[in-house]
């Protein structure tokens, strides 16, 4: 949990509009929001804020270090952190791949941001 007592959520998304929307909605829901545009930056944010991040929401199609690899690395480094993967490739194979990499949940795009926020609330209780 973050120092302010809020639950911390890291949003790793290369689409700046979607990342901003997540940030605004999560902040309005009283989460401490951290953002990164790619997997490498996401790992750096996680490292820079030990103990502050309770959940990671990551896209799979990230430049550089992809979302599946990011999920694997987050799971290895911080087993208690919850992870939600998102992707425009919504097949069952993608869902299984994401869950096998260590994610707790998968949302295929397009998705309702409200639905994801509700899942974040449940997962961080």
Q: What pLDDT score was predicted for residue 110? A: 86
pLDDT digits (tens, 9 = 90+) for 46-101: 999 999 999 999 999 999 999 999 999 999 999 999 999 999 876 668 889 999 99
Q: If you average pLDDT over residues 30-56, what whole number do you get?
A: 97
Q: 3: pLDDT confidence band, cut at 50, 70 and 90?
A: very low
pLDDT tens digit sequence for 11-31: 999 999 999 999 999 999 999
Mean pLDDT confidence for 109-119 = 89
- Return the residue matching tokens 């690395």: 73
pLDDT at 1 > cutoff 60: no
Would you state the pLDDT for residue 81? 97
Spell out the domains of the chain, with CATH numbers in brackets: 8-123 (3.40.50.2300)
Q: What is the pTM of this model?
A: 0.93
């Amino acid at each position: 949990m973050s120092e302010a007592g809020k639950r911390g959520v890291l949003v790793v998304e290369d689409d700046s509009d979607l990342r901003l929307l997540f940030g605004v909605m999560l902040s309005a829901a009283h989460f401490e929001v951290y953002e990164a545009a790619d997997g490498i930056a996401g790992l750096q944010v996680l490292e820079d804020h030990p103990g502050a991040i309770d959940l990671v929401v990551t896209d799979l199609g990230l430049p550089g270090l992809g979302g599946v690899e990011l999920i694997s690395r987050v799971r290895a480094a911080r087993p208690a952190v919850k992870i939600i993967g998102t992707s425009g490739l919504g097949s069952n194979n993608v869902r299984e791949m994401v869950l096998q990499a260590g994610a707790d949940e998968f949302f295929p795009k397009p998705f309702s941001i409200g639905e994801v926020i509700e899942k974040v609330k449940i997962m961080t209780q």
